[in-house]
Structure 1
Amino acid sequence: MVQIAFILLTHKDPETVIRQAARLTAAGDCVSIHFDARANPADFQQIRDGLADNQQVTFARKRLKCGWGEWSLVAATLEAVKAAVEAFPDATHFYMLSGDCMQIKSAEYAHRFLESENCDYIESFDFFNSDWIKTGFKEERLIYRHWFNERTQKWWFYQSYEWQKRLGITRKVPADIEMMIGSQWWCLRRDSVEKILQFCKDRPEVLRFFATTWIPDETFFQTIARHVVPEREIRSRTLTFLMFTDYGMPVTFYNDHYDMLLAQDYLFARKISPEAKEMKARLGKLWGEQDMAFPISNEGRALFGFLTQKGREGHRFAPRFWETESTLGRDRVLYVVLCKKWHVAKRLVEQIRARTDLPAVNYLFNEQEELPPLGGIEKTLEKRNRHRRALLRMLLEYHRSDRLLICVDPSDFDLLRDLTSDKVETRILEIETEFSDEYLVGHAQRIGLAAHDSPSQIYERVLPTIRYDLRYESEKIRDAEFEHFWRIRETAQVQANAGPLAQFLKLDTDTAAEIAATDYLFSD
């Protein structure tokens, strides 16, 4: 039977700590608390007094002054872990938490989840070969010694680094240790924790090495767990849902994130805003719930990334220089069909192929549609987009034609700009379609913003944004005022669409009307 010993690292807000510990222990679990020695002594005494009668709570015997990026955070965790191992002999799992974390599942669900598989949950990626570190120091975290706090002793931190760098004073990672990196929010089985504690006793030189590395809370447990636990028993993930902004800052969750959080495939989440009183109250009741179902859609990160990008202009750092010297040719004609509903554009192209001799391909820059062999440039979407004018020239030559029709997604405005700036005559036809809520729901699922069983609140939040985004793409294209531009509409009569279609394709009106009259053209 699963019993969780929560390792709670905290430094503020004693009332929240008391409520958090009481809530977690009410379901039969345990809590071991390390309260930062830098904090107000009165706050710590308040916590001790508030939890004095709770036999399921213990405290780290030694309190340390903790600083961000320092070994002190790891040392404090070890102190709380030791206290938990000694105080709670029945604890089967040890779960790292902070005062900013809250449960997003019930205790019943969490116990069942941990019981379902005999493994540890800890992010553990290769330090040197993974891209877990996005910017800043990487190897420098390890090969130089860091005695000072980067935030409170910035000058000394960087000056000591520069001195070591100039003098060539470096060190090596312990020979038998494979450095790993990942989130500090882990959940380990008792046997794994005991092995780590024994490793600490047996290998003091390794602890001395980590004691002067930078941000060791992202490397110590992640590395030692891999050293003492078989790889097959480790799941390289955290059970605590957290996200970061473009600036590397943790995303804070508020009241309207409640349904989204419950739908994620995690047991806890951080950081919950102190102002999110309504959500904190709802989450507070959640741990003790019985027989509660949690449909998992797991769209949180994709949804956050999508919503935070809206309103931004995607400026590139530099033009696509590999195409600036090439051209499709002044005497050639490129026909571009723009449509968000790819199946509608493909049906139109199918009808054009049947009634004309115009060579046509579908969304060759958006999907891996099979193309004729062109020397390898057609093999991947990356290659196609990197050398798009070269690809189009080769397709024109393959078809022995001076004309070619392609389909383009309206979101690819840069591609349109590139093509219309070429010497080739670029003719554009936009197909304006209607977007029902049902279609937008399917679109959200296809692009990973939601799942089939996402809560209705997710769709209520994201559908207006998607609808606006599609409208914005169309408006942006119209505002560009391309020279050769026509539009047909789903809501227009056949004859109204036949005229623009005839002009776009340089066809007679009767043939254009036959194409426009395709009865299933706009069907979803």
Structure 2
Amino acid sequence: MARIAFILLCHKDPEAIIKQAERLTSVGDYMSIHFDARADPEYYAHIRAALDENPNVTFAKKRIKCGWGEWSLVQATLNAIEAAVEAFPRATHFYMLSGDCMAIKSAEYAHDFLDRDDCDYIESFDYFQSDWIKTGWKEERLIYRHWFNERTQKKRFYAAFELQKRLGLTRAIPDDIQVMIGSQWWCLRRRTIEWVLDFTRSRPDVMRFFRTTWIPDETFFQTLVRHLVPESEIRSRTLTFLMFTDYGMPVTFYNDHYDLLLSQDFLFARKISPEAKELKRRLGLLYATRGWDFRISNEGRSLFHFLTGRGRIGRRFAPRFWESEGSLGRKRELLIVVCKKWHVAKRLVERIRKMTNIPCIEYLFNEESTPLPDLGGIQSTMGKRHRHRRALMRMLFDYYETERLIICLDPNNIDLLNDFYGDRSVTRMLEVECVFSDEYLTGHAKRVGLAGEKTPQETLDRLLPTIRGDMQFEIDQIRDANFPNHDRIREADPPETNAEALGHFLAIDRGKALEIASIHYLYSD
């Protein structure tokens, strides 16, 4: 059975560290602690006094002062690993933790999870080919030497960099290694850890290289594990659940995140707020429980991005000058069907196409797979369609040789509606108002990744009102804009009432409009 030796790097909150160590070792697991030499000596003395008698806890024999982005973080980790390997010969796995991490599964579940697959869990993506680094330096982290801390010695850090750059003092990456990058929160098997330690003793050239790279805790273990372990035995993921905001800051979890955390496909979570005392209490009791049936839905990240994105109005990028100045054509009519239930709009426009011969294109700005003619590549990606929206529509009018064209839009495309209504052409909109049952909203949440098949009902109960409110917010934006030529049909209204709006929207006679509005299956889910 798996026995985990936790590698804990910490520098504050001694009481929390003591509780964490006692909690994780009470079920037979181990812990090796490196407490930053820069921190308050009284904190360290307090931790040692509380844990020295615990046979499942050990301490790094040499403590060093740690700094963000420095080699010191890797060296502190290696010191704690060496202490753990020596003190705990029965440990089968070594799991990297911080003082802000807490278990979101029981020890029973964690041990079974690790026994299930003989592999290492570590994010490791090709340093140069992947997009793991979103902004800032990439090659510069490696080919130049970094001796100073960027945060505490900023002037020296950038002065040394500029001097090397000016003099051309670059260096080569060791020939036989492929630099990888990923999260520093890994879980490695004992054999892998022993191979890494042997490698650090036999390859001083590689050690010299990493000692002066920038932010080596994101590359050192990631590179060595890929170098030493067959790819089939590596799972390129972390077992610690963590998320980042749009600004690159870690998301903090609070008391009301308990159910969400337990349903994620991870063993630990980072980072737990110091003020989330109830969450800490409940998670603290969790690790020692037995027989807990964890229902994994794994919707955490998609749910976070959905909720944080609510209320953000406006364009992410400014329009190109040729987009704002271009026109679809003064004599042309763009007819837009706006509907949240895409299948309803598709049924409606298919019927309109057959009854009127007006060219109809479904959700071309929402679905990549929407069938479109070859327009020289402008239609090839969703990004191009949005950036060159007016040019795309002009080309579609020309392709179909028509002065009237129907498209479908999701209600969240308020920026597109504003842009098309600002054109010199005539724009008409037909809003299709549907009824959203709880069953439909639950299915919608699962289809878009906000929930999974095993999402707890408690989470769904809190989520559905938010989704319903979000949909209403999108419709309210449209109505508040007071667009002209705005017609509406409603699921709750009889076909006779809807036929009037359809007739006005399409400029067709009442009989034909009534035939379109009378589709008995139009609103079926």
Q: Normalising TM by the smaller chain, what interval?
A: over 0.9
Check if 1:488 corresponds to 2:489. yes
Q: Which runs of 5+ in 1 are unaligned?
A: none
Determine the C-alpha separation between the residues in 2 that align with 1:373 and 1:17. Answer: 61
Check if 1:254 corresponds to 2:254. yes
Deviations 1:286-329 (A, max 9, x none): 11111111111111111111111112223333204453454332
Instruction: Name the counterpart of 2:280.
Output: 280
Instruction: Name the counterpart of 1:130.
Output: 130
**Shift of residue 386, structure 1, vs aligned partner:** 4.3
Identify the range of structure 1 (506-515 vs 302-311) with the bigger mean alpha-carbon deviation. Answer: 506-515
Determine the C-alpha separation between the residues in 1 that align with 2:259 and 2:239. Answer: 17
Instruction: Name the counterpart of 1:517.
Output: 518
SS at match of 1:7: strand
Matched AA of 2:491? E
SS at match of 2:430: strand
SS at match of 1:340: coil
Identify the range of structure 1 (404-413 vs 376-385) with the bigger mean alpha-carbon deviation. Answer: 376-385
Could you say if the C-alpha distance between residues 379 and 36 of structure 1 is closer, same or farther in structure 2, counting changes exceeding 3 Å? closer
Determine the C-alpha separation between the residues in 1 that align with 2:381 and 2:42. Answer: 63
Instruction: Name the counterpart of 2:459.
Output: 458
Give the TM-score normalised by the residue count of structure 2. Answer: 0.95
Identify the range of structure 1 (392-401 vs 143-152) with the bigger mean alpha-carbon deviation. Answer: 392-401
> What is the correspondence of 1:167-178 to structure 2 with a 5 Å cutoff?
167-178=167-178
SS at match of 1:74: helix
Instruction: Name the counterpart of 1:295.
Output: 295
Identify the range of structure 1 (240-249 vs 187-196) with the bigger mean alpha-carbon deviation. Answer: 240-249
**Shift of residue 398, structure 1, vs aligned partner:** 4.0
Check if 1:436 corresponds to 2:437. yes
Determine the C-alpha separation between the residues in 1 that align with 2:275 and 2:326. Answer: 57
Could you say if the C-alpha distance between residues 320 and 430 of structure 1 is closer, same or farther in structure 2, counting changes exceeding 3 Å? farther
SS at match of 2:33: strand
Check if 1:353 corresponds to 2:353. yes
Matched AA of 1:3? R
Check if 1:215 corresponds to 2:208. no
Matched AA of 2:476? E
Instruction: Name the counterpart of 1:28.
Output: 28
Instruction: Name the counterpart of 2:402.
Output: 401
Determine the C-alpha separation between the residues in 2 that align with 1:333 and 1:310. Answer: 32
Matched AA of 1:506? A
Instruction: Name the counterpart of 2:193.
Output: 193
Instruction: Name the counterpart of 2:74.
Output: 74
**Shift of residue 375, structure 1, vs aligned partner:** 5.2
Identify the range of structure 1 (71-80 vs 463-472) with the bigger mean alpha-carbon deviation. Answer: 463-472
Matched AA of 1:407? C
**Shift of residue 351, structure 1, vs aligned partner:** 2.5
Determine the C-alpha separation between the residues in 2 that align with 1:70 and 1:371. Answer: 52
CA contact (8 A) 2:315 2:415 kept: no
Matched AA of 2:502? L
Deviations 1:158-207 (A, max 9, x none): 22222222222222212222111111111001111001000000011211
Identity, in percent, stands at 66
CA contact (8 A) 2:314 2:415 kept: no
Instruction: Name the counterpart of 2:363.
Output: 363
Deviations 1:204-247 (A, max 9, x none): 12112211111111111111111111112111111011111122
Matched AA of 1:409? D
Could you say if the C-alpha distance between residues 135 and 413 of structure 1 is closer, same or farther in structure 2, counting changes exceeding 3 Å? same
SS at match of 1:448: coil
Instruction: Name the counterpart of 2:427.
Output: 426
Determine the C-alpha separation between the residues in 2 that align with 1:440 and 1:356. Answer: 33
Matched AA of 1:204? P
SS at match of 1:95: strand
Determine the C-alpha separation between the residues in 1 that align with 2:350 and 2:496. Answer: 20
Instruction: Name the counterpart of 2:48.
Output: 48
SS at match of 1:238: coil
Instruction: Name the counterpart of 1:268.
Output: 268
Determine the C-alpha separation between the residues in 2 that align with 1:103 and 1:274. Answer: 15
Instruction: Name the counterpart of 1:500.
Output: 501
> What is the correspondence of 1:221-240 to structure 2 with a 5 Å cutoff?
221-240=221-240
Determine the C-alpha separation between the residues in 2 that align with 1:95 and 1:312. Answer: 38
Instruction: Name the counterpart of 1:446.
Output: 447
**Shift of residue 150, structure 1, vs aligned partner:** 1.6
Instruction: Name the counterpart of 2:180.
Output: 180
Matched AA of 1:75? Q
Check if 1:414 corresponds to 2:421. no
Could you say if the C-alpha distance between residues 376 and 43 of structure 1 is closer, same or farther in structure 2, counting changes exceeding 3 Å? closer
Check if 1:92 corresponds to 2:92. yes
Matched AA of 1:238? T
SS at match of 1:337: strand
After TM superposition, the runs of 4+ consecutive aligned structure 1 residues lying more than 3 A away are 320-327, 371-400
**Shift of residue 69, structure 1, vs aligned partner:** 1.1
SS at match of 2:256: helix
Could you say if the C-alpha distance between residues 124 and 154 of structure 1 is closer, same or farther in structure 2, counting changes exceeding 3 Å? same
Determine the C-alpha separation between the residues in 1 that align with 2:192 and 2:304. Answer: 34
Determine the C-alpha separation between the residues in 1 that align with 2:228 and 2:283. Answer: 35
**Shift of residue 149, structure 1, vs aligned partner:** 1.4
Determine the C-alpha separation between the residues in 2 that align with 1:242 and 1:82. Answer: 27
CA contact (8 A) 2:319 2:387 kept: no
Matched AA of 1:309? G
Determine the C-alpha separation between the residues in 2 that align with 1:168 and 1:62. Answer: 37
Determine the C-alpha separation between the residues in 1 that align with 2:312 and 2:282. Answer: 34
Determine the C-alpha separation between the residues in 1 that align with 2:333 and 2:314. Answer: 29
Identify the range of structure 1 (256-265 vs 12-21) with the bigger mean alpha-carbon deviation. Answer: 12-21
Determine the C-alpha separation between the residues in 2 that align with 1:221 and 1:156. Answer: 27
Instruction: Name the counterpart of 1:472.
Output: 473
Deviations 1:45-92 (A, max 9, x none): 221221122111111111111111111111110011001111111111
